[in-house]
Amino acid sequence: MSKLRVHTFSISLDGYGAGPHQDQDNPLGVGGLGLHKWLWGTRTIGKLFGDGSGATGVDDDFAARGFSNIGAWILGRNMFGPIRGSWPNEQWKGWWGDNPPYHTPVFILTHHPRPSITMEGDTTFHFVTDGIHECLKRAQAVAHGKDVRLGGGVATIQQYLRAGLIDEMHVVVSPVLLGSGEHLFNGIDLLKQGYQCSEHTSTPNATHILITKQK
């Protein structure tokens, strides 16, 4: 059965998954890019955005797991872009250029409808205004038995956590402090929701934690 999975979601030592004041110059908020320093140098990211070079090892293993058996993605609107309210036009097509790194259908949660966008590399952005359950239903329908990856951001992950819909969640604690921003687990009782830590390991760059929902 198709699972809903979160991968490579980095948080600071003080629990923030994004910094404050997100805008076009700061896609993850001020200081937010520092959460992902462990990821940028991996072979997996080198294959997606560069010449295929990069480090192997534990960090890369976790990064690669996030792309295994994924048939569709779900993103909150902030993960697609910094625009708020109604779409002023259809010029903005995401942070990633003409060939985004998803290569599957991607479902964007939003309150404002917009036609789907077909990009290079088999990525198609669909905009869903019917809430998290309908979004997951649509993603699973086109995943053809593969899993659905929930990319974030913080508010979107919180909604799915509170609904108990996330099956597996890879959280990465990076050795940075943000001081403020979006706190990932604020107000969420993971134990009450049936989650437990099923795996954890540390590298010089980060601590990897796998949280799974008990059936």
Regions of the chain where pLDDT drops below 70: none
Per-residue confidence (pLDDT) for residue 22, from 0 to 100: 81
Per-residue confidence (pLDDT) for residue 21, from 0 to 100: 84
Minimal CA–CA distance to 110: which of 140, 84, 142?
Answer: 84
pLDDT in tens, 160-184: 999 999 999 999 999 999 999 999 9
- 3-state secondary structure string, the chain? CCCEEEEEEEECCCCEEECCCCECCECCCCCHHHHHHHHHCEHHHHHHHCCCCCECCHHHHHHHHCCCCEEEEEEEHHHHCCCCCCCCCCCCCCCCCCCCCCCCEEEEECCCCCCCEECHHHCEEEEECCCHHHHHHHHHHHHCCCEEEEEECHHHHHHHHHCCCCCEEEEEECCCCCCCCEECCCCCCCCCCCEEEEEEEECCCCEEEEEEECC
Q: Tell which phi-psi region holds residue 54, choosing left (phi > 0), alpha (psi between -120 and 50) or beta.
A: left
Per-residue confidence (pLDDT) for residue 118, from 0 to 100: 97
Total-model pTM: 0.94
pLDDT in tens, 70-104: 999 999 998 998 888 899 888 999 988 899 999 99
Superfamily holding 6-84+94-213: Dihydrofolate Reductase, subunit A (3.40.430.10)
